[in-house]
Amino acid sequence: MRLEKCWFCSSTIYPGHGIQFVRNDAKIFRFCRSKCHKNFKMKRNPRKVKWTKAYRCLHGKDMTQDSTFEFERKRNRPERYDRNVTAQTLKAIPLITKIRHERHKKHITERQKQGKTKQRERDAKELEQDIQMLPKKDTMLSTQKTKVVVKVSQQQTEENLMEE
C-alpha cells in the first residue's frame, strides 16, 4: 500500500480514494477526485490551471528547491528491512516535515514582501491626499486628541468660518 500523487493536482491519494486510468501504452494516470479526472478528460494542462501544484510551482508560488525535498524520494530498488534504520527514519520524518513547513512559510513571506511595501506606500499616500474628505473634527480628534480637550469650542467655529 502506498500513498500516490494525483496526476493533475499532485495531491496525496490515500488508499481507497480516487480513480486511475491506464492508457493503452501502459502509462498510469491517477486522480484524487472526479474534479481532477474531469479536467484530465477535458485535456486541460495542469500547468495552466491555477489551483494545481504544477501551476503554483511553475509560477513561483510554492517552494520548489530545498534540501528537505531530497529526503523523500521513491526507491525502485527493494531494501532489506533494518530495525534501527527504520526507527531512525520514523523519528526523522516529523522533524523534516516541520522544517519544511517553516521554510515554506518563510518562502511565502519573502514572496509577499514586495507587495506589502507597495501597499503601505499606497496607503500613506491616500491618507495624505484624501484626509479632507472626512469632517474636520473627526480627523482632528484622531490626530490632535490631547490638544482638543483643552481648547474652547468657539475657536473651532472660527476656524471653520475661515476655511469657507
Partner 1 sequence: MVQYNFKRITVVPPGKDFIDIILSRTQRQTPTVVHKGYSISRIRQFYMRKVKYTQSNFYEKLSTVIDDFPRLDDIHPFYGDLLHVLYNKDHYKLALGQINTARNIIAKIAKDYLRLLKYGDSLYRCKCLKVAALGRMCTVIKRISPSLAYLEQIRQHMARLPSIDPNTRTLLICGYPNVGKSSFMNKITRADVDVQPYAFTTKSLFVGHADYKYLRYQVIDTPGILDRPFEDRNIIEMCSITALAHLRAAVLFFLDISGSCGYSIAQQAALFHSIKSLFMNKPLVIVCNKTDLQPLENLSEEDMKLVMEMKAEAMKTLGHGGEANEEGVLLTMSTLTEEGVMAVKNAACERLLDQRVEIKMKSKKINDCLNRFHVAMPKPRDNKERPACIPQAVLDARASAAAAKEKKKLERKLEKDLENENGGAGVYSASLKKHYLLADDEWKEDILPEILDGHNVADFLDPDILQRCEELEREEGLRLEEEAAQEAFQIDGHELTEEQREILGQIRKKKALLIQEHRMKKRTAESRPIVPRKFDKDRTFTTNRMGRQLSSMGFDPSAAMDRACSRSRGRKRERSLSRAASDGDDMDIDGQQSSKKLRALSRSRSRSKSRPSEEVVPGEGFKDSAQKKKAIKKAKDSVRNRNKEARRGEADRVIPTLKPKHLFSGKRSIGKTSRR
Contact 13, 3 (CB under 8 A): yes
Number of residues that bind partner 1 (CB under 8 A): 55
Residue 112 found at the interface with partner 1 (CB under 8 A): no
Among positions 48, 59, 111, 120, the unique one binding partner 1 when judged by CB under 8 A: 120
Residue number, 38 or 105, with CB nearest to partner 1: 105
Q: Which of 24, 140, 23, 39 is nearest to 10 (CA)?
A: 39
Nearer to partner 1, 64 or 67 (CB): 67
Cβ distance 16 to 30 under 8 Å? no
- Does 86 help bind partner 1 (rule: CB under 8 A)? yes
Dihedral of alpha carbons 48, 50, 51, 56, sign: positive
Nearer to partner 1, 44 or 156 (CB): 156
Task: Pick the binder of partner 1 from 28, 139, 151, 155 (CB under 8 A).
Answer: 139
Span from 19-27, 35-43, 48-56, 124-132 in contact with partner 1 (CB under 8 A): 124-132
State the minimum distance, in angstroms, from the CB of residue 103 to partner 1.
Answer: 8
What distance separates the 2 farthest-apart alpha carbons in the chain?
A: 91
Half-sphere exposure of residue 37: CA atoms within 13 angstroms, side-chain side: 13
CA distances from 39 to 14, 58, 122 (A): 20, 19, 40
Cα separation values, 137 from 133, 149, 151, Å: 11, 12, 13
Query: Binding residues for partner 1, per CB under 8 A?
Result: 1-3, 12, 14, 67-68, 71-75, 79-83, 85-86, 88-90, 92-97, 99, 102-103, 106, 117, 120-121, 123-124, 126-127, 130-131, 133-139, 142-143, 157, 160-161, 163-164
